[in-house]
A and B are shown apart, each in its own frame.
Chain A
Amino acid sequence: MLGFFLRRLGTFVPTFVGVSLVSFLFIRLLPGDPIMLMAGERGMSDERYGELLTQFGYDQPIYLQYLDYVVGILQGDLGLSFSTKRPVWDEFFALFPATLELSACAIVFALLLGLPAGIVAAVNRGKWPDQLLMSTALVGYSMPIFWWALLLIIWFSGMLGWTPVSGRMSLQYFFPDGTGFMLIDSLASGQKGAFASAVQHLILPTIVLGTIPLAVIARQTRSAMLEVLGEDYVRTARAKGLSPLRINGLHALRNAMIPVITVIGLQVGTLMAGAILTETIFSWPGIGKWIVDAIASRDYTAVQGGLLMIALIVMVVNLLVDLTYGIINPKIRAR
């Protein structure tokens, strides 16, 4: 067990080095000089240029710069944003709860619909519910999510007027940021209607972001269930005369969940990519929108920091999934 943990961690370290190297090189690969980029169109005097060069350590050899950068990361220092002059680390974590809240809702939405859909499809293999559900899943999987978002906005916000088009909260409610999670903060504020407003703002982005994970989970649940339903112990359970509900729900589903959990872990990357599009469309003040805005406004330290942090989050989640998987399934450990 310990060997497995160490081996898995052993692949984490070089990937971390690589990822930090990519984000380190990002600013240096940009056309133009980073100091001049910072100055913008106004330019600067040679004297000031020299000062900044020293201040940011650009006059040092490249490997020392990289070392500085990594030490900074480990201390929670991602540099200052070009445009706001605030620490990128602080900006990231101020906005991260919004993305986390949205992603969590999307995954819950995907699980609530995807698991039952996959089970029903597997149990009715080849019959119409299976075909209907799996065709729908394939459509969902093929959906350009920015288009899906536009359709939902046209229907629910435009024609029906049910949901707001952008943001996280109506302007009429105001309360201090507590946790950064609007659902919790609005409840804690005790203001009437604030929680309902938070939910309303969440509905469309949740559906948009959750659609692809929903389709993937439904498909994966179906195939995992089918595999398990063919096993001997399921046949034994059936021969013993257990009810279908007990067989499918208890015996089969429990074992079918293992690959499904892995897939959910792998969806983190998809969610982060999806968040970029979803947040941009719904003006959701999270990491995804922040990074797109940063690219547009050439705030390259912010882009660099966001790139690194998002990759790190995806890597850590994948690491945790792998380790959990190793604990559940001894076969993986042995590899």
Chain B
Amino acid sequence: MSMNAAGIDEPGAAPVERMERPGRLREFWQYFRENRGAVAGLCVFVFFILLAVFADVVAPHSPIAQDRGAFLQPPFWQDGGTTEYLLGTDALGRDMLSRLIHGARYSFFIGVIVVVIAATSGVLMGLVAGFAGGYVDTLIMRLMDIVLAFPSLLLALVMVAILGPSLINAMIAIAIVLQPHYVRLTRASVLGELSRDYVTSARVAGAGKLRLMFVTVLPNCLAPIIVQATVSVSYAILGEASLSFLGLGVDADTPTWGLILADGRGFISQAWWLGVFPGLAIMLVVLSINVVGDWMRDVLDVRQAL
């Protein structure tokens, strides 16, 4: 776990207390082990990440190599399947398993980058809104209301229609749709912290605005943001898959899970594996992220922000 201590700090916990309890990371892990579901979720998640990282080594075939002797071959346990292609092949004779393993790369890449963009910009805007107050605050929050008024998938679809379908544009669209949640969350936490004594004392001690924002207040607002970030990785993966499924996500040479599923959709009556496996991969990853996110919400004692 790369989670740092700040993430599990109680808001406003005195620094003295922190020194008395050196094993926060261990404590974190201790809680974690008590929840078997969360451990299982984390294991699945790590498994998929390892697959994505070592895709070149793990995948039995190239994801784009076409075998003309093996079109639409079923998985190995069905009649006509071979262990050469464990999960079968698609209509162009490409190995399903290898495509899925390489697809994991795209899906995680999209998930992580989108969340980094959305979280960074969202937290910045939330900090500004919370600290500035007044008309700046109103302006930012009204803007976010407007973005939130559109169903997220619809807004993403329309943005891709404007920008043109590509991996980058799909990621930008999803990031814009996710961002308001961070703004609201950060602003709410900031407003909660601003009235606390430690902020007043820092202000009295002469801390500048930037220092107050980033050093004094932000670390104490991180818990809900971390939970939100975890869960939004799954939203981002699902969002990209939905866009690709509708044919408005990535282009054909970037085989994300959503695109593999969309490709397989036309063949479901004769080749069920083309539709089932990519969706299963998406669901397993999203589920594992949600399990871990749920558990983090409990441990970090964050109320779900809707």
A residues near B (Cβ < 8 Å) are 11, 14-15, 18-19, 22, 26, 29-31, 135, 138-139, 141-144, 146-148, 150-151, 153-154, 158, 263, 266, 269-270, 272-273, 276-277, 280, 291-292, 295-296, 303, 307, 310-311, 314-315
Contacts and interface: CB of A to CB of B under 8 A. Distances in A.
13 contacts: A31-B164, A144-B261, A147-B278, A150-B261, A150-B275, A150-B279, A269-B152, A277-B153, A280-B246, A291-B154, A291-B157, A295-B161, A311-B149
B162 A29 contact: yes
Interface residues of B, number: 44
B204 interface: no
Given A15-B142, A15-B146, A142-B283, A310 B154 contact: yes
Contact of A146 (B155, B245, B269): B245
A144 B282 contact: yes
- Consensus secondary structure, chain B interface: helix
B43 to A, nearest CB: 16
A307 B158 contact: yes
Interface stretch (B2-10, B86-94, B221-229, B234-242): B234-242
Contacts of B279: 144, 146-148, 150-151
Contacts of A296: 247
A307 B154 contact: yes
Contact of A135 (B37, B158, B242): B37
A146 B268 CA distance: 13
Interface in B66-96: none
B268 A147 contact: no
Given A150-B275, A154-B272, A270 B151 contact: yes
A310 B265 contact: no
Interface stretch (B50-58, B98-106, B208-216, B284-292): B284-292
Nearest to A216: B306
Contacts of A14: 142, 145
10 closest Cβ pairs, A-B complex: A147-B279, A18-B146, A273-B153, A142-B287, A273-B151, A142-B286, A272-B151, A150-B275, A269-B151, A311-B149
Contact of B157 (A11, A154, A270, A292): A292
Nearest to A318: B149
B150 A147 contact: no
B248 interface: yes
Contacts of B261: 144, 146-147, 150
Contacts of A135: 37
Given A150-B268, A150-B279, A307-B158, A273 B246 contact: no
